[in-house]
């Protein structure tokens, strides 16, 4: 890990990501559509409209719930 990277936990898995990334950036990196994901950050559910402005911080714990359509 470099000074330009941070360590976060996503659904129980520790990941190293570039510093300054937003929640939206992370979701896109993971191949997820932000409008179909509920994000809990450090035990607080985030407003979907604020994903792009919410910067990830070292030590953050995120739980992602992805909705899948079907019939």
- 29 inside domain: yes
Residue 23: predicted pLDDT: 98
Q: Is the pLDDT of residue 1 over 80?
A: no
- 26 inside domain: yes
Residue 3: predicted pLDDT: 75
CA 65 to chain centre: 11
State the total domains in the chain.
1
User: pTM for this structure?
Assistant: 0.89
| Boundaries of domain holding 56 | 5-66
What CATH code is carried by the domain that includes residue 62? 3.10.20.30
- 21 inside domain: yes
Measure Cα distances from 56 to 24, 26, 40, 65 in Å.
Answer: 10, 9, 12, 17
1-10, 26-35, 48-57: the lowest-pLDDT one: 1-10
- 71 inside domain: no
pLDDT digits (tens, 9 = 90+) for 34-67: 999 999 999 999 999 999 999 999 999 999 998 7
What does the mean pLDDT of the chain come to? 93
Residue 27 main-chain phi, psi, to 5 deg: -60, -45
- 22 inside domain: yes
């Amino acid at each position: 890990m470099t000074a330009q990277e941070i360590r976060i936990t996503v659904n129980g898995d520790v990941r190293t990501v570039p510093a300054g990334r937003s929640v939206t950036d992370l979701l896109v990196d993971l191949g997820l559509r932000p409008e179909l994901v509920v994000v809990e950050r450090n035990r607080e559910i985030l407003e979907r409209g604020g994903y792009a402005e919410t910067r990830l911080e070292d030590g953050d714990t995120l739980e992602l719930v992805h909705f899948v359509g079907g019939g």
